[in-house]
Amino acid sequence: MRTVALAAGVSIKTVSNVINDYPHIREDTRQRVLEVIETLGYQPNLSARGLRSGRTGAISLVIPDLRNVYFAELADSVMAAAAKRGLVVMIEQSGGDRERELEILRGPRMRMVDGILYSVLALGQEDADLVDVPTPVVLLGERIFGGPTDHVTMKNVEAARAATEHMLATGRRRILAFGAHENEVIGSAGLRLRGFRQAFDSAGLHHDDALVVDVGNWHRGDGAEAMRAVLASGVAFDAVVAFNDAIALGAMRVMQEAGLRIPDDVAVIGFDNIEETRYSLPTLSTIDPGREEIAETAVRLLMERITGSEERIAPREIEVDFRVIQRESSTVTVL
């Protein structure tokens, strides 16, 4: 910058002013400075700017695992939303490990960013207070409600209920709740199970507890394994409401290997609307959680907190709308 100033015959500060669109600069001065910048290929040092201004132009996205397609797609949407606002995204993977999730949040790296999008799996409601750090945080996901930060989430209960009602509407009654977690109340599994039950309750139907299936980690392999166990146990069922797409796809594969036809013998619906659901065989019905809107909203809220003045706005809870996407795996069977 020093060199630029020298070459343009102005002060360093004037160069800075040009770069930052300070209004009171004569047009010819501005042009001259811009030309010199162009010629010399000058680029501002972000570290110095960050030091002086306190803003780095980077936000952090903390997620469990990029290999999980849902999170990769979420990261993609977040990066798009961030890019629109001139921000870069630093991704941190927690592996869904509680210690690591906390460690990341408290680490010095988080002081290098202007804000944090925090999507956790292991922290729970009891940790709400721990998320109160100096850097602005927007929480994603279903683990903590009513905490000290903004929170963007999907309508889990309503979506699970809608998925279940979709199955009921096609005449299915022995429906697996696939992906429950023992004793979980909040968290995706807990909320989705609640919605699932609501659908039965309000239809005046009873749901057999034997059809509630715990599926460990919601990876594809877990879904496959759990479905093998179900088939081995001999429990009869005619539909699966899977609590995410990965386990739905894993389960579908196992069922097909076992000779079950989808949707004729068993209808399936998943959750997340990952890209693969459009190409699986059969294509998988699912819940579109509004990923892009979640990302866009989360980044917007975070920006408001970052640029916001001292006014202490109360934490906001935002629930994004979902859509039921019907594909081949739950087409109404012609009897």
Partner DNA sequence: GCCGCACATTACAACGATGGAGAGTTGCGT
Partner DNA sequence: ACGCAACTCTCCATCGTTGTAATGTGCGGC
Contacts with a second copy by CB under 8 A lie at: 43-48, 50-51, 56, 58, 65-67, 69, 72-73, 75-76, 79, 88-93, 107-109, 111-112, 220-221, 224, 249-250, 252-253, 256-257, 275-276, 278-281
With CB under 7 A as the contact rule, the residue among 48, 66, 88, 332 that binds DNA is 48
For the CA atoms of the chain, what is the radius of gyration? 25
Tokens 């299915």 correspond to 172
* Among 107, 121, 128, CA closest to 60: 107
**125 scored as a contact of DNA (CB under 7 A):** no
102's contact among a second copy, DNA, none, with CB below 5 to 8 A by partner kind, is none
d(CA 200, CA 161): 9
**67 scored as a contact of DNA (CB under 7 A):** no
12's contact among a second copy, DNA, none, with CB below 5 to 8 A by partner kind, is DNA
35-39: long-range pairs with CB below 8 Å, 24+: 35/8, 36/4, 36/7, 36/8, 37/4, 39/7
Q: How far is CA 272 from CA 64, 198, 242, in A?
A: 16, 20, 10
The set of residues, in sequence order, having a beta carbon less than 8 Å from that of 155 and lying 6+ positions away, is 319, 320, 321, 322
With CB under 7 A as the contact rule, the residue among 6, 40, 51, 258 that binds DNA is 51
The CB-of-16 to DNA minimum distance in angstroms stands at: 3
Q: For residues 179 and 192, is the Cβ–Cβ distance under 8 A?
A: yes
Cβ-based nearer residue to a second copy, 30 or 253 = 253
Q: For residues 272 and 289, is the Cβ–Cβ distance under 8 A?
A: yes
The CB-of-34 to DNA minimum distance in angstroms stands at: 12
With CB under 7 A as the contact rule, the residue among 6, 31, 40, 53 that binds DNA is 53
Contacts with DNA, 6-35, as mask; x by CB under 7 A? ---xxxxxx-xx-xx-xxxxx--xx-----
Report the interface residues with DNA, using CB under 7 A. Answer: 1-2, 9-14, 16-17, 19-20, 22-26, 29-30, 43-45, 48-49, 51-53
